[in-house]
Amino acid sequence: MDLIRIRNVEKKYKNGVTAIYDLSLAIEKGAFVFVIGGSGSGKSTLIKMLYREEKPTQGQIIVGGLDVAKLKNKKVYKLRRKLGIVFQDYRLLMKQTVYENVAFALEVIGAPKDEIRQKVLKALEDVGLKNKIHNYPEQLSGGEQQRVAIARAIVNDPKLLLCDEPTGNLDPEKSMEIMQVLDDINKNRGTTIIMATHDKEIVNRMKKQVITLKDGHLVNFKKKGTYNNEAV
């Protein structure tokens, strides 16, 4: 069953630049999908449209049954509660502990304290940081900070996890460790993962589904793909 359906989507910015042209695709529940392409290919624009940071100029985007394009601004929270987002730059609260950073995602929706503790500890266990709950971000490596960000993104059991260049600030070894964490989340939690990346090594080693964008156009969608020349 498809979690995401995109039909005839175009995204044109106010400055006249068209970032996405006539994009149509479907992503099934439980999939792990890489979105690849060179600079300006439309990778980040696609991710932003999926969590409604950007709206398509035309076309339809359905995420978990919600029509993203037609969603009113005051209803965007309904979409955001269905998904988690991981960025390249971690975006942690530096004066909060690891536990507090992850708990924050549940506190803002008014979850009970007992539920928060249970879910936070489970999320931190899933990313291998249960022994760091009292640490602050500055006491962690870049890889560990990204694990905290991932734990925060999955703590509310989202159906979809969107990752925008999550290994961009990490060395190759730490990048592969993060990919193993994401792979485990995909397999053990059944979370659908869509990850924009330009890291050829990761894409070639993981052999997941691969969407290739070039100049805003979909040029390839393979079920078990590698980083191909069309992405350059």
- Span 146-176, pLDDT tens digits: 999 999 999 999 999 999 999 999 999 999 9
State residue 39's pLDDT score.
87
Please provide residue 209's backbone torsions phi and psi, each rounded to the nearest 5 degrees: -70, 145
Q: Is 231 a residue whose pLDDT tops 80?
A: no
Please give the average per-residue pLDDT across 76-81, as a whole number.
90
Q: Is 207 a residue whose pLDDT tops 80?
A: yes
* Domain residue extents for the chain: 90-157
Please provide residue 214's backbone torsions phi and psi, each rounded to the nearest 5 degrees: -145, 120
Q: Where are the alpha helices (DSSP H) in the chain?
A: 43-50, 76-80, 98-107, 113-126, 142-154, 172-189, 200-206
Q: How far apart are CA 30 and CA 174, in angstroms?
A: 24
Tell me the sheet residues that pair with 214.
Answer: 217
SS3 145: helix
